[in-house]
C-alpha cells in the first residue's frame, strides 16, 4: 500500500462539478492499493500518518501531528501510484489491486484514520475527480507498507 501525504492549508474533491469532500488545515492522502495489500498495511499507514509530526510548533519546528493541530484528512484513492513506467512511454498499472479489492480497503483506511482521532473525508472511488490541493510548505511525504 502506498500513500502520498501532503500537508495542506485546504483540500477539496469535486465530481461532476459538485464538491464531495473538503477540508481546511490538515492532510491530503493520495492512497494506492497494490496486490496483496490488506488491513494490516492500512492500519500501519493510518497510525503512522495520524502521528506524523509534519506541522510546525511555535518555534517553527515540525513537531506536531495532524491530531495535535486539530486538523482533518482527505483520503483520495489513486491507483496511478502503482504506475510502472520502466518500459515504453505508456504506464502499466498491473501492480494496482482490482477495484473490488481496493475500494473497500480505501474505505477501511479512511475509517482507520478516523479511529486515530482525525476527522476524514474521502473522494469517490473510481470517479473522475478534480482534486484541489493547497500544499503548505510544500510538505510532501511518501510512505509505503508491503
Active site residues: 78-80
Helix (H, G, I), strand (E, B) or coil at 60: coil
What's the helix, strand, coil split of the chain in %, to 5? 25, 40, 35
Cβ distance 75 to 120 under 8 Å? yes
Amino acid at each position: 500500500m502506498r500513500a502520498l501525504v501532503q500537508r495542506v492549508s485546504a483540500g477539496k474533491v469535486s465530481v461532476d462539478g459538485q464538491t464531495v469532500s473538503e477540508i481546511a488545515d490538515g492532510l491530503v492522502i493520495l492512497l494506492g492499493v497494490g496486490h496483496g495489500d490488506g488491513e494490516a498495511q492500512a492500519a500501519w499507514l493510518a497510525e503512522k500518518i495520524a502521528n506524523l509530526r509534519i506541522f510546525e510548533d511555535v518555534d517553527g519546528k515540525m513537531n506536531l501531528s495532524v491530531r495535535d493541530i486539530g486538523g482533518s484528512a482527505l483520503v483520495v484513492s489513486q491507483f496511478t501510484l502503482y504506475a510502472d513506467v520502466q518500459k515504453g512511454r505508456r504506464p502499466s498499472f498491473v501492480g494496482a489491486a482490482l477495484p473490488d479489492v481496493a475500494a473497500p480497503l480505501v474505505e477501511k483506511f479512511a475509517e482507520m484514520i478516523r479511529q486515530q482521532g482525525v476527522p476524514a473525508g474521502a473522494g469517490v472511488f473510481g470517479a473522475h475527480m478534480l482534486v484541489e490541493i493547497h500544499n503548505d510548505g510544500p510538505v510532501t511525504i511518501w510512505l509505503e507498507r508491503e
